[in-house]
């Protein structure tokens, strides 16, 4: 491997944790470098609003941190560093064991960095990638049921399955025979499985509500107009329930995008610009259930 060549990148599963934290905002690019006091790894951060690079080695000699240095200069290991890094010609100088040790160490550091950056504007609230593993498909009109299934699984460790929960909801009168949930009953399964909820059914939920609830670690289910969300007339006016797993906050403080677990798209979380999500959410009178 040559100097500057990326050997961990966002698309690489090995870099999954950093990818989760950055949620598409920051694009980390790892490269082997010479820190001046020993070989290490260099992390380039390319954010939509800024970029920075940091190097780690045995002595943590290199690095410039841009906004982190300004805001968190006395709280990070990089406070007094200067950028003395130089790429090496051949990264093979690093043994696999040494690479592994550095990678592990950097992973821990990057966790701290990203946690700190989460406290800034330009952050992501929620844990879209982490919650993605609780994304379940719907086999009929059970969107609200499987959204609750995922949250119950996340919070209790038990996946009851779509059919068992759909049967429970139907027997208790919360859904009809086709599995559709009455809006006032979205959240009842959560309560029945020991997860407290707070609900907004009168149109009073807002972008601030989303931010506040996600900041408090709540899991959110929102009602949406499926046609408005997908921009597809075939589904216009059809209500749908989705699990809001994260919002991205722009520098001015407003929500710029929303990521959801959508049982119609069980392959991966889906992200929408906030204007599109808001229009779709308005279609349900901004129905919202906060769990936890």
Partner 1 sequence: MPNQLKAFCDQLRHLPALQSLIVLEDVLSYPIPYRSGECLTLRFFFFSRGQEKDAAGTVALYRPHVRVSASYPEGKLLEFMDLGFESGAAIPRCGEIVGRYPHPAMAVLSYAEAQAQKTAYFYALQQLLPLYAESAAPSPETLSLVKSYVESFERVSEPAFRSYYETLSPQFFAWIKRTLAL
CB of 157 to partner 1, least distance (A): 28
The stretch among 28-36, 37-45, 87-95, 227-235 that binds partner 1 (CB under 8 A) is 227-235
Q: Does 240 bind partner 1 (CB under 8 A)?
A: yes
Q: How many residues bind partner 1 (CB under 8 A)?
A: 33
Q: Are 287 and 186 in contact (CB under 8 A)?
A: yes
Q: Does 186 bind partner 1 (CB under 8 A)?
A: yes
Nearer Cβ to partner 1 (45/147): 147
Q: Does 239 bind partner 1 (CB under 8 A)?
A: yes
Q: Are 146 and 138 in contact (CB under 8 A)?
A: yes
Residues 6 or more apart from 1 whose CB is under 8 A from it?
A: 7, 32, 90, 91, 92
Query: Residue from 42, 85, 117, 175 that binds partner 1 (CB under 8 A)?
Result: 175
CB of 291 to partner 1, least distance (A): 17
Q: Are 49 and 71 in contact (CB under 8 A)?
A: no
Query: Residue from 238, 250, 256, 271 that binds partner 1 (CB under 8 A)?
Result: 238
Distance, in Å, from the CA atom of 73 to the CA atom of 65, rounded to the nearest integer, reads: 9
Q: Are strands 63-64 and 124-126 parallel, antiparallel or unpaired?
A: unpaired
Burial of 86 (0-12, 13-18, 19+ CB in 10 A): middle
What are phi and psi for residue 39, nearest 5 degrees?
A: -80, 145
Q: Does 130 bind partner 1 (CB under 8 A)?
A: no
CB of 117 to partner 1, least distance (A): 36
Point out which residues bind partner 1 (CB under 8 A): 141, 143-144, 175-178, 180-184, 186, 201-203, 223, 227-228, 231-241, 264, 284-285
């Amino acid at each position: 491997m040559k100097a500057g060549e990326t050997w961990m990148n966002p698309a690489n599963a090995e870099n999954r944790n950093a990818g989760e934290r950055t949620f598409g905002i920051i694009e980390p690019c790892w490269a082997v470098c010479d820190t001046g006091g020993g070989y290490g790894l260099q992390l380039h951060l390319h954010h939509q609003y800024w970029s920075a690079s940091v190097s780690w080695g045995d002595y943590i000699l290199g690095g410039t941190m841009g906004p982190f240095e300004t805001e968190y200069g006395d709280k990070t290991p990089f406070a007094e560093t200067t950028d003395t890094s130089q790429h090496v010609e051949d990264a093979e100088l690093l043994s696999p064991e040494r690479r592994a040790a550095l990678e592990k160490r950097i992973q821990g550091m990057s966790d701290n960095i990203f946690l700190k950056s989460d406290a800034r504007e330009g952050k992501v609230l929620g844990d879209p990638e982490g919650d993605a593993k609780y994304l379940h498909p719907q086999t009929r009109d059970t969107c609200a049921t499987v959204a609750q299934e995922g949250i119950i699984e996340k919070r209790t460790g038990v996946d009851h399955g779509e059919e068992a929960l759909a049967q429970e909801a139907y027997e208790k009168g919360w859904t009809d025979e086709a599995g559709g949930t009455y809006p006032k009953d979205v959240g009842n399964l959560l309560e029945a499985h020991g997860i407290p909820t707070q609900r907004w059914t009168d149109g009073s939920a807002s972008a601030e509500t989303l931010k506040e609830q996600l900041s408090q670690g709540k899991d959110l289910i929102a009602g949406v107009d499926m046609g408005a969300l997908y921009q597809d007339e075939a589904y216009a006016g059809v209500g749908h329930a989705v699990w809001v797993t994260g919002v991205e906050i722009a520098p001015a403080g407003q929500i710029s995008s929303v990521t959801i677990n959508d049982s119609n798209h069980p392959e991966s979380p889906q992200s929408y610009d906030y204007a599109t999500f808001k229009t779709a959410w308005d279609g349900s009178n901004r129905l919202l259930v906060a769990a936890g």
